[in-house]
Amino acid sequence: MTAADVLAEDEVDGFVADFRVGEDEGEMGGTQTVYDGDVHIEFDQNGLTIEHVGAGDEWYEVAMDDCTVEHREEGQDDGYIPITPFRGVDPATMEVTETTTVEGQGAYVVEDADTRTFISAETGYRLREEWGENGQADLHSWGETEPISAPDGDCEQDG
């Protein structure tokens, strides 16, 4: 059985991912919201709240009331939780390696060199992604997100 056999995200406009990476003093956590290919990421790093927004062709970064904008490059969002599963690898080439439960839900596990992806046996949506020992994202609110727009205020062109 492959990931293509169990994955069913094609008809869904978006999701929310609560993530954390690192440990102890180096831990960083945040939330990523996706809607129709656009993304809003908010995280705390060393006590500072940082926002990244990918809306249309623009990529915004907001920190300490400063906003910069640059042209959004293809794949730029994938430094976080990928909008499309498996970072563009064809799901038909990825085998389901086991079944388990996540938060009480039955799940299929698909693994590559860097990531363990847990796919709901009931809905076909990703439930969780794990990277190494200290990275995890819990995905939820499939199809319940709102459109994402540029941050309020003026943004300075970066570069």
Tens-place pLDDT, residues 2-12: 999 999 988 78
What the chain holds in terms of domains, given with CATH numbers, is 3-157 (2.50.20.20)
Q: What tokens were used for 118?
A: 């847990």
Question: Residue 26, SS3?
Answer: helix
Question: pTM to 2 decimals?
Answer: 0.89
Q: How many CB atoms lie within 10 A of CB 155?
A: 18
pLDDT of 22-70, one tens digit each? 876 677 889 999 999 899 999 987 788 899 999 989 999 999 889 999 8
Residue with tokens 């919201």: 33
- CA–CA distances in Å: residue 58 to residues 91, 132, 150: 28, 31, 8
Looking at residue 27, its pLDDT comes to 77
Pairing of strands 66-71, 126-131: unpaired
